[in-house]
Amino acid sequence: MKTIMWILFALFISVIQAVGVSILGGDPNANISAPVGDRGWSAHGQWMTNSTGIKVSTNWFLASTHVKGQVGDWFTNQGVGHQVISKHVVTNTFGGDVNYGLTLWKVGASFPTNTVIAEIVAVTNFVGLPVTVFGRGMPSTTNPVIRQTVTMVTNTYNDPFRIVGWDFGPTNHTLEIERGTNSGIHFTLEQTEALELGWTALPGTYLIGTNQAVTVSVPATGTQSCFYRVMCVTDMVSSTNFATIGWYLAEHDRVFRWGENVVRDGGPLEGNLWYSTFDPDDGAYECALSDGDSSGGAFTLVGGVWKLVALNLASQTLFSADEGASWFTATITDMAGLTPWGRGTPLPTDQGVFPSKSWYTPLTPQAVAEIKAVAGLP
């Protein structure tokens, strides 16, 4: 039998639907400058005040539709503001839900000639695809989420015990025994026969032999004595384990960060989206998305060039340790025993590991063809 308890070191209570890039270890200062080889870092700009867009041509940038925006808003590239003059909503290939979609935005003045432009590509064999992702969402803290697991274990002893006392009940009597320095372990005996023998004083010490059935006469109430039998000698002891399963998130700081992950799966069962999981053994730069990372890019290496293959969409960062009575934001490597936002009951603790997920809107072949046609790309 397992009992799960949660030690909450720095609880942030807020109810938000998670959509910066949080790294294993929880260091908020990790990966706040471009990675070696850039990998797509410089293709990003700031869309409006809090979001992100990705330059795909000299005067068009791409963003997730659900971060909104309108003609007349500003896109900042290398410290220079560019006002949007028109937009194009990319044909939705995700079941009609506009929140999954992509929007192209056109700026009035072209980006400088030295601006890094993202190359786009559709990847159809995406399971296992390594990606570098970027975003400006909620940073991690160094405060870990600790799970305390108490497991009750049954031990069987084969060496002798000494009976040092009795506890009488109406139907079951309990022996208190002593075994070396481990005293106070109780055993309930099986009643086998009741006899009118009168009240009889008993010796103060009994030895229970090695793994054998022992019959002892234990006084009951009145003049009745009962025979009891010790079928086996066992007790229950507890084993306690403490494990770090994630890190709490801080408030938004809008600092741009990057991390790495691997696309685990996608397709129709995930609404034609891709997803990755926050796994503790997948490298120092393993990351999870958080609120505010939407519209950042996921890049992969194709033919020696880092190319844009998807945009950040959503993530699991809101959890309850008390079945919905209160909530906290974190990135979690194993959600077992926790209730993720949107689920009514805790995830089971005896069915494996449940790492939190991050979802991405992939650039499908249809989307890539449409973006290239609108933006005038070859």
- Render each residue's pLDDT in the chain as its tens digit; 378 residues: 444 444 433 322 222 222 356 666 678 888 999 999 999 999 999 999 989 999 999 999 999 999 999 999 999 999 999 999 999 999 866 655 667 899 999 999 999 999 999 999 999 999 999 999 999 999 888 899 999 887 766 555 444 444 444 555 554 445 544 444 443 444 444 444 433 333 233 333 333 333 333 344 444 444 334 444 433 344 455 677 889 999 999 998 899 999 999 999 876 667 678 999 999 888 889 999 999 999 999 999 999 999 999 999 999 999 999 888 899 999 999 999 999 999 989 999 889 999 999 999 999 999 999 999 999 999
Q: Of 327, 328, 331, nearest to 290 (Cα)?
A: 331
Beta pairing partners, 259: 133
* Burial (CB count within 10 angstroms: exposed 0-12, middle 13-18, buried 19+), residue 295: buried
Are residues 298 and 310 in contact, defined by beta-carbon separation less than 8 angstroms? yes
d(CA 375, CA 158): 80
pLDDT at 98: 66
The sheet carrying 297-302 orders its strands as 257-262, 130-135, 297-302, 305-315, 357-362, 273-277, 265-267
Are residues 225 and 216 in contact, defined by beta-carbon separation less than 8 angstroms? no
- pTM of the prediction? 0.75
Give 199's contacts (C-beta < 8 A, 6+ positions apart). Answer: 219, 222, 223, 225
Domains of the chain (ranges plus CATH)?
Answer: 2-147+242-375 (2.40.10.120), 158-232 (no CATH)
